[in-house]
Amino acid sequence: MSAHSRTPAMPSRRLFLGAATATTMALATDLTLGARSAHAADSAYVMGYFTESPNGLGTDYGLHLAVSTDSLNWTPLNQNNPVVTPTAGAGGLRDPFIMRKRDGTFVVLATDLKGTDWGYNSQYIHVWDSPDLRTFTNYRRPRLHDMVTHSWAPEAFWDASRNQYAILYSSVNSSGHNVLMVNHTSDFTTVSAPQVFFDPGYDVIDGDMAVGVNGVNHLYFKSSRTGGLVGARSTSLNPGSFTPFSTSVAHGGTEAPTLVKSLTSNTWYLWGDTYTPNGVFYAWQTNDLASGTWTPVDQKLYTHPVNAKHCTIAPITGPEYTNLLARWGAPAWNRLKSYNYPARYVRHADYTARIDTYPFDPYTDSQWKLVPGLADASGVSFQSVSHPTRYLRHYDFALRLDASDGTGTFAQDATFHRVAGLADASWSSFRSHNQPTRHIRHSGYALRIDPIATATDRADATFSVGH
**pLDDT tens digits, residue range 397-449?**
999 999 999 999 999 999 999 999 999 999 999 999 999 999 999 999 999 99
Q: Tell me, what amino acid is at 356? A: D
Q: Where are the beta strands (DSSP E) in 305-379?
A: 308-317, 335-338, 344-349, 352-357, 368-372
Secondary element (H or E) of residue 382: strand 380-384
The predicted pLDDT at position 20 comes to 34
Q: End-to-end distance of the chain based on CA atoms, in angstroms?
A: 24
Distance CA 431, CA 438 (A): 6
- Single out the residue of 187, 223, 221 nearest to residue 202, CA to CA: 223
The predicted pLDDT at position 86 comes to 98
Low-confidence ranges of the chain (pLDDT < 50): 2-35
The predicted pLDDT at position 111 comes to 98
The predicted pLDDT at position 83 comes to 98
Core vs surface per residue 374-393: b (16+ CB within 10 A) or e: bbbeebbbbbbbbeeebbbb
Answer whether 31's CB lies under 8 Å from 38's CB: yes
Answer whether 364's CB lies under 8 Å from 346's CB: no
For residue 431, the SS3 value is strand
* Total count of residues recorded for the chain: 467
Distance CA 243, CA 256 (A): 19
The predicted pLDDT at position 39 comes to 62
- Single out the residue of 284, 278, 331, 344 nearest to residue 309, CA to CA: 278
Question: In sequence order, what are the residues at sequence separation of 6 or more whose Cβ sits closer than 8 angstroms to the Cβ of residue 302?
Answer: 72, 73, 281, 283
Tens digits of residue pLDDT in 47-75: 999 999 999 999 999 999 999 999 999 99
The predicted pLDDT at position 1 comes to 57
**Number of neighbouring beta carbons within 10 Å of residue 230:** 22
Q: In angstroms, what CA-CA distances link 454 with 375, 416, 424, 439? A: 29, 21, 14, 13
The predicted pLDDT at position 278 comes to 85
Distance CA 10, CA 8 (A): 5
Answer whether 4's CB lies under 8 Å from 16's CB: yes
